[in-house]
Amino acid sequence: MYGSHGEILRIDLSRSHISREAIPQDLFDKYLAGAGMATHYLYHEVPKGTDPLGPQNKLIAMTGALTGTIAPSTGRFNWVFKSPLTGLWAQSNSAGFWGVEFKKTGFDGIIFEGVSPEPVYLVIDEDKVELRNAAHLWGKSVSETTELIKKELGQGFGVVCIGVAGENLVRYASIMNDLHRAAGRCGGGAVMGSKRLKAVAVRGKKTIKLADGPGFSQTARKQFELINQSMVKVAMESFGTNVVIDMVHAKGGFPTRNWQTGVFPNLEEINAQALSEKVLVQPKGCFACPLKCARVSIIRRGKFRGHKGEGPEYESVGTFGGQCQIDDLEAITMAHYLSNEYGLDTITAGASIAFAMECCEKGILTKADTDGLDVAFGNAEVMIELVHKIAKREGFGDFLAEGTRRMSQKLGRGTERFAMHVKGLELPAYDSRAVQLTGLAYAVANRGGDHITAYIQGPTFLDIPFLVIPDSKINDPLVADPNEVHVLVDLENVLTALDTFGACKFMGMCVASEEWVKLVEHCLGRSFDYQDMIRLGETAYNLARIFNIREGLTRADDTLPARLLEEPLPEGPAQGKVNENLPAMLDRYYELRGWDKATGKPTREKLTELGLEEYIADVWGS
């Protein structure tokens, strides 16, 4: 197979058994590896109703067809599993260098199943694969774990691992690689911890077979030239992902005080310029990345002076800063550092703290509930303390470790109105009342409150059309226009395909689809055009939807928190706006998707069109 080694590993942790399996050619042709192929395995091997933290759940790592090639920003890989946070299909994507090192071992993916009787870590050294005891690593931070493994095996190994949060089954624990890169969302770290799998260390030298190496190289060089001329590169390299904060705030959509408003006082204390002046050391990129959006940083003043790491990224500033209404950038940076060390999703961690702050503000929670802490908006010291408590499931942190949906279900008293999640996954830092199509994107995303599936924020909040689709222009972001829903659907399909390739979605802003399909043609040695790219993404996207339907998802789940639907923004450019016309937008979305409007299920005709006939009986009955 071109673009693939044609083999995956299966690790039965219960029996400490390691096996190798060939990837069927027809399965690779259908999904080109990536999250789509991983979802195929998950659907067929994880029974309906499986406890996400039980032995029947599986944790699947899968690279893409272009992962590790010389194409720009193709170092990405996916984790796929049933989420302990949402109870639904979950995909968590990461970059850095681990995915490339893993693919060099000669495998495209790993399926972890069962539960180890004791802590272990997996070592893949080219063709040698073994499980090792990890008792000495249990309880260690991400950096400590990485350092100890490299000391045992050698500096040439890439390490992916969990921190204390994953061991303690925090429902939104992340899986960390290369120290600072996170497969952050949906709780993959908790699944890994439930299996008593601490880490995976990899080293390899195998190359990836390409059908047309010279043609591939020529196209890849052209892509780099295009990216080097892009304003996206200038912005990201200069300011990192936090460059978007001023653009989001300018539309009145920077979630503040747990989404009570979209306007943040003292924004200049935490924006991109402030980050560059206060904590930045230098920009840093992932494998083959020309953008260098990561930030190497150090805290130079205050209580946390001297701490070093990477970040904070925009989402960390948005949740620990905006949602908690904290304008102390050093404290936000420290919360980000701690989340990386413990292995925590900064979006859900910050959102859970912000939700608790509002509950305290309304008198629903008292100091007796919060271990005597003053859990109030703007209290940076308490925010830091709560990050520690969450990771350790200590006291009030044990409650926060469940995420906002379970917190609100336990508290009641109307708290579900301002528990800011969709399907159990907390929302990122873009208030959809300020850009209407973003609300639909949140409502329908397969994994829940997600901004990455379509990254609709590009053409809405940031006014950056995606070059990877022909027409991603939005006329008026404040208008919920069903005629623009096609932009969301196209982006979902094409960016799902980029996940399959192993490419960074930021590349969709810089490089047009015709360049990507040329790369795939040169890689596979067969015809591949834009419609093939759309079909590839659409097939994988529908399969994830089918998994969720099997787990009980209905149209009623494709909705937004009551705050977004009923509470107008009180100030700023989007003052008075709520998410409007969601039922009509949803009808149009289902129509374009080929899904039944009453149920949200893919129709028999759509499943047949996509070659997913085997799932018709599961979706519709015999």
Residue 455's pLDDT band, with cuts at 50, 70 and 90, is: very high
- pTM for the model: 0.97
Alpha carbons 539 and 542: distance in angstroms, whole number: 5
DSSP sequence for 211-233: S-HHHHHHHHHHHHHHHHT-HHH
**Quick one: pLDDT at residue 17?**
98
Average pLDDT, stretch 486-491? 96
Confidence tier at 327 by pLDDT (50, 70, 90):
very high
Nearest partner of 86 among 166, 188, 196, 198, judged by Cα: 188
Three-state DSSP at 144 gives helix
| Residue 463 to residue 437: CA distance in whole angstroms | 13
Residue type for position 447: R
Cα–Cα distance measured from residue 120 to residue 133, given in angstroms and rounded to the nearest whole number: 5
- Predicted local confidence at residue 472, as pLDDT: 81
Residue 470's pLDDT band, with cuts at 50, 70 and 90, is confident
Q: With pLDDT > 70 as the criterion, what percentage of the chain qualifies?
A: 100
Number of neighbours of residue 138 by Cβ within 10 angstroms = 18
pLDDT confidence tier of residue 250, bands split at 50, 70 and 90: very high
CB 460, CB 437: distance < 8 Å: yes
pLDDT in tens, 540-553: 999 999 999 999 99
Checking DSSP bridges between strand 120-125 and strand 197-203, what pairing results, if any?
Answer: parallel
Q: Integer distance in angstroms from the first to the last C-alpha of the chain? A: 36
Cα Rg of the chain, angstroms: 23
| Angstrom distance (rounded) from CA 475 to CA 465 | 11
Task: Specify whether the CB–CB gap between 262 and 252 falls below 8 A.
Answer: yes
CB 89 within 8 A of CB 186: no
Strands 7-12 and 109-113: parallel
Residue 461 amino acid letter: F
Residue 463 has pLDDT above 90, yes or no: no
Assign 1 a pLDDT band (cuts: 50, 70, 90): confident
pLDDT value of position 593? 98
Average pLDDT of the segment spanning 86-110? 97
What pLDDT, on a 0 to 100 scale, did the predictor assign at position 299? 98
pLDDT of residue 370: 98
- The pLDDT of residue 471 is 82
pLDDT in tens, 342-377: 999 999 999 999 999 999 999 999 999 999 999 999
Quote the crossing angle between the two packed helices 530-550 and 513-524, to the nearest 10°: 90
The answer for 232, left when phi > 0, alpha when psi is -120 to 50, beta otherwise, is alpha
Q: Give Cβ neighbours of residue 558 (< 8 Å, ≥ 6 apart).
A: 443, 444, 586, 600
In this predicted structure, the answer to whether residue 575 has a pLDDT above a threshold of 90 is: yes
Residue 125 main-chain phi, psi, to 5 deg: -115, 90
155-169, 204-218, 461-475, 579-593: range with lowest mean pLDDT: 461-475
Task: Using a pLDDT cut of 90, give the percent of the chain over it.
Answer: 95
Rounded CA-CA distance 11/13 in Å is 6
Contact between residue 508 and residue 468 where contact means Cβ atoms under 8 Å apart: yes
Number of helices (H), then strands (E), in the chain: 24, 17
Task: Report pLDDT for 381.
Answer: 98
* C-beta neighbour count of 213 within 10 angstroms: 15
Q: Which two tokens stand for residue 98?
A: 């681990």
Torsion sign (Cα): 520, 526, 527, 528: negative
In angstroms, the CA 420 to CA 148 distance is 38
What's the pLDDT score for residue 251?
A: 96
Q: Give the sheet arrangement for strand 175-177, strand by strand.
A: 128-133, 120-125, 197-203, 158-161, 175-177, 181-183
Instruction: Write out the two tokens for 55.
Output: 């032995």
Q: Tell me the mean pLDDT in the region 499-523.
A: 93
pLDDT tops 90 at residue 148:
yes
- Give the domains, in start order, of the chain with CATH numbers: 7-203 (3.60.9.10), 240-426 (1.10.569.10), 436-559+581-620 (1.10.599.10)
Residue 622, pLDDT > 80, answer: no
For residue 378, which amino acid is it? G
> What does 150-209 look like in DSSP terms, one character per residue?
HHHH-TT-EEEE--HHHHTT-TTB-EEETTTEEE-STTHHHHHHHTTEEEEEEE--PPPP
Question: Of 388, 361, 236, 257, nearest to 318 (Cα)?
Answer: 257
Banded pLDDT at 134 (limits 50, 70, 90)? very high
Q: Closest Cα partner for 588 from 427, 437, 447, 423?
A: 437
Residue 428 to residue 611: CA distance in whole angstroms: 34
Place of tokens 């937004």: 560
Distance CA 313, CA 346 (A): 9
**Mean pLDDT confidence for 592-613:** 98
Cα–Cα distance measured from residue 552 to residue 571, given in angstroms and rounded to the nearest whole number: 38
- How confident is residue 231, by pLDDT bands cut at 50, 70 and 90? confident
Summarize pLDDT for 182-204 with one digit per residue, the tens. 999 999 999 999 999 999 999 99
C-alpha to C-alpha distance for 166 and 175, rounded to whole angstroms = 8
In 343-480, alpha helices (H): 346-361, 380-392, 396-400, 404-411, 436-444
Q: Is the dihedral of CA 501, 28, 606, 556 positive or negative?
A: negative
